[in-house]
Amino acid sequence: MNVLIGDEFKDVFKGLASLVDVGGGTGTVAMAIAKNLPDMKCIVLDLPPVVANLQGSGNLEFVAGDMFEKIPLANAVLLKSILHDWNDEECMKILKNCKKANNRKWKS
């Protein structure tokens, strides 16, 4: 996983202070990002039973929640293995919550 977050990919995350990994499970991807980008806050959002016994550290935090209800605020949202599991209506709910969670300023 560190290969995906190596020096050649750091520009992808340039200017971002925070990222939420929606449905991030045990945090494998977010841990790799947090390790390679120590100034970025990484949040893993997953269902309570998934993150109940997981401990964050430094710039990594685990949040119990439901992506259909609310996604934590962040500069970027990662949907690594999510949308393909849901129908169009459910995907729209997830994407609308992603938009609400994104705290970057956008031009209209």
The residues, ordered by sequence, that sit 6+ positions from 99 with a Cβ below 8 Å of its Cβ are: none
Q: Residue 29 catalytic?
A: no
Tell me if 35 sits within 8 A of 59, measured CB to CB: no
- From residue 29, how far is each of 32, 61, 102 by CA, in Å? 5, 13, 19
Catalytic residue among 11, 39, 49, 84: 84
Sequence-distant (6+) residues with CB within 8 A of 53 are: none
SS3 state at 43: strand
Report the distance separating Cα 83 and Cα 35, nearest Å: 26
Catalytic site positions = 84
